Structure 1
């Protein structure tokens, strides 16, 4: 991955961490204020909702770029190389189509809802749907980059025939041995 893309996804990682910290701080402070002082932060729920949606969508872009989404590789790695390549192009084509659908639907909802604002925070409701549109574009770019690499002969791990195996957890022998009375 190029250094510019690494920098971009590192920025997304930081955004996700900051977003989760903001959500946690807002919700925790609101709970303490409500139960301890019979008051609260009026806009905390609305801001937390918007930030959570953005965190989820940007996190999904980062997960796609890192190959961290769930996948069933047991069938793919057993296919002959040509069949693996066909499955690769079909699956990436379907993912690009899903990005198109997500982007188109999110954009339409963003335009429709941009004029409506949330009651307490004043944030446009369309900002929630804008997260889906931005994520669709970024995910499509990641997929297109993977397709470009594949045309140059660099396939992601499961598609290249390499099975990704996680190491088994190390359990101390004291925990696994049975004690006899």
Structure 2
């Protein structure tokens, strides 16, 4: 991963932590005020919702960069290297297409909703959709970097194959008392 992207994801990590802290503080304060004093913070629900959306999208971009998304490689790991590489290219191509669709749709919604204001907080409604735009762009950058590195000869670990040091699976024989008649 290039240094500028690493720094960007460090910033994302800080923003995610700050967003979680602010969101937790707002929700906790609102609950205490509602049940303890029959009042509340009017804008906390809207701000918490926007922060939650941003945390999810930034977190998914960071997870993609770190290779932390769930992957099942049971079938692909058994393929020969060329077939794994072909599956890798198809997979990354499909993910880039999904990033394009997400960016295009979120850009449209951000532009449409930017001048609409949330009722209590006054935040632009388009700010919520902008989170998907930022995530789509950063995910696409990660995928392009991954493609570039793979074309230079290094596949990500998931696609590298079954060249691990794991022992082969063995079947434990059943005890004589457990055998079926």
TM-score normalised by length of structure 2: 0.88
Aligned equivalents of 2:24 and 2:73: distance in 1? Answer: 36
Q: How does 1:12-91 map to 2 (within 5 A)?
A: 12-91=12-91
Displacement of 1:55 in angstroms is 0.5
- Tell me, in whole angstroms, the C-alpha distance in 2 between the residues paired with 1:61 and 1:164: 28
The answer for the alignment partner of 1:11 in structure 2 is: 11
Question: Structure 1 pair 53/164, CA: closer, same or farther in 2 (3 Å)?
Answer: farther
Query: What is the rounded CA distance, in whole Å, between the counterparts of 1:52 and 1:29 in structure 2?
Result: 16
Deviations 1:44-102 (A, max 9, x none): 00000001100000000000000111111111111100000000000000000000000
Contact 1:16 1:59 in 2 (8 A): yes
In the other structure, the counterpart of 1:169 is: none
State the alpha-carbon separation in 2 of the partners of residues 54 and 112 from structure 1. 19
Most deviating of 92-101 and 154-163: 154-163
- Larger radius of gyration, structure 1 or 2? 2
**Tell me, what secondary structure is at the counterpart of 1:74?**
coil
- 2:78–2:161 contact (8 Å) kept in structure 1: yes
Give yes or no for the alignment of 1:125 onto 2:125: yes
5 Å matches for 1:86-97? Answer: 86-97=86-97
Q: Which runs of 5+ in 2 are unaligned?
A: 166-181
Q: Deviations over 1:97-155 (max 9, x none)?
A: 00000000101111111111001100010000011011101100000000010111111
Q: Which residue of structure 2 aligns with residue 144 of structure 1?
A: 144
The residue number in structure 1 matching 2:116 is 116
Question: Whole-Å Cα distance in 2 between the matches of residues 40 and 164 of structure 1?
Answer: 56
- Partners in 2 of 1:92 and 1:30 — Cα distance? 43
What is the deviation of 1:162? 4.9
**Structure 2 contact 99–139 (Cα < 8 Å) conserved:** yes
8 Å contact from structure 1 (residues 73, 163) kept in 2: no
* Corresponding pairs, count: 165
